Structures are given as C-alpha cells and as structure tokens.
Structure 1
Amino acid sequence: MSNIDKVLGELMRIDGATGAAVVDADSGMVLGMAGNPSFSLEYAGAGNSEVVRAKLRTMSNLGITDTLEDILITLTTQYHLIRVIETPGMSTLFVYLVLERTRANLALARHKLGEQTPKIEI
C-alpha cells in the first residue's frame, strides 16, 4: 500500500517548502504531490525527469558506477532538490522538493529529504 501522501506531508513541514512530488523518471508521471508552488508540479516533474535521465546516462557513458543520490538546482529565489529513490527492478523514481530560498536551511532540508525518502512505499 502506497504511503506517498504521508511522506509528502512530512516533507511539506520542512521550513520553506512550497511543493513536493514523487515522480517516475522513466515516464515523467507524477505519482503524488503536495503544496502549492508558483508553477505546475506536473510540468516540473516531467521536465526534471529529463534531468535525472540525462545525469544517469552521462554517468553510464563515463563509466561512473556510483549511485546518484540527489541533484540540487539553485535559483535566485528557490532551491529545487531532486532525490533519487532506489527501486531495484522497477522504474527510476525521485522526490522533487521546492524550497523558498529565504526561509529554507538547505543542509537541514537535504537531511530531512534523505530521512523521508526511504520511507516511500509504492
């Protein structure tokens, strides 16, 4: 049984969080979302799927065998965190978290994201 909504609710308690989503990187489909950022989480999820796939492809082409944990995108007013979820034998999933830069503590947000992401059950 999926607990996506519960985990997303916990992520929305992070100071400065405005939106969060769980996304299937292979299809770009949003499996769950919370919050109300100033843009479409569905569109952002699909777009960031391309980012995740490009990074994984680049790592493979370079022979890098490390596991991709997260990607940080910094904007002038926001942080966008992408945390890849290990799902052996399944699609590549990731959690997408949007934070207001003036209110968020990036280190604490990354810590809490890393803490909550393994709790996701599909």
Structure 2
Amino acid sequence: MANTEAALKEAMSSIEGATGVALVDYTSGMALGTLGGGKDFNLEVAAAGNTDVVRAKLRTMEHLGIKDEIEDILITLGTQYHLIRLLKTRGNNGLFL
C-alpha cells in the first residue's frame, strides 16, 4: 500500500494543476487508491467510468486487429483535462492512473 500512496502523491505533485488521481484496476473497475478529488469530483465514480473507456478502446483495438498497447487516453473538457495512463506491470494485471 505504501507504493500506491507514493505513486499517487508523485502524480499529484508532478502534474501541474492536478486536482485528483486514482490508481484503478480496469479488470474490476475498482479504485485501489485515490488522492484529492472532493464532493464535486468523486474519484470512485471517475474510476468506474474511465474503466468503461479503457475497456471500450481495448475492445475496439481487438476488433480492428491492432496489435499495440495504449499509452494514454486524453479527454478534454471545457475546464478540465482527464488523463488516463495505462501502467505496465508484472503479470499485466490491468492498472491505470
């Protein structure tokens, strides 16, 4: 758990303007850890919703026969950027920040 907390703190401090970060398992849609957010930005809801985004893109790549890996997914809103960074892990167990 200490590694998760350290990674979340590093992401928050190294990304200028970051207001929240979550480590998410996209096989389950569960947030393994969160930092920031608040009543107006529920990171648990964001984790579940962005899991759908990641799964949809992976499914589309499979249907298209694309044999590559997603690095980032960027969603731009009027006042926010949502950055999804897939992580390469041992055992390839499907994590993203």
How high is the TM-score relative to the length of structure 2? 0.90
Residue number in structure 2 paired with 1:10: 10
Q: CA deviation at 1:26?
A: 1.0
Amino-acid identity (%) = 60
Count of matched residue positions in the alignment of Structure 1 and Structure 2: 95
2:41 to 32, 39, 42: 39
Question: Matched residues in 2 for 1:62 and 1:22: separation?
Answer: 28
Opposite residue 26 of structure 1, the aligned amino acid is T
Residue number in structure 2 paired with 1:67: 69
Residue number in structure 2 paired with 1:25: 26
Question: Matched residues in 1 for 2:8 and 2:90: separation?
Answer: 22
Q: CA RMSD in A?
A: 1.4
Residue number in structure 2 paired with 1:54: 56
Unaligned runs of at least 5 residues, structure 2? none
Opposite residue 88 of structure 2, the aligned amino acid is E
Which one is further off, 18-27 or 28-37? Answer: 28-37
Which one is further off, 5-14 or 74-83? Answer: 5-14
Higher RCO by CA contacts (8 Å cutoff, separation 6 or greater): 1
How high is the TM-score relative to the length of structure 1? 0.72
Runs of 4+ aligned residues of structure 1 deviating over 4 Å after TM superposition are none
Q: CA deviation at 1:15?
A: 1.6
Unaligned runs of at least 5 residues, structure 1? 96-122
Q: CA deviation at 1:12?
A: 1.0
Q: After TM superposition, list the pairs within 5 Å mapping 1:92-107 onto structure 2.
A: 92-95=94-97
Aligned to 1:12, the other structure's residue is in SS state helix
2:82 to 72, 80, 83: 80
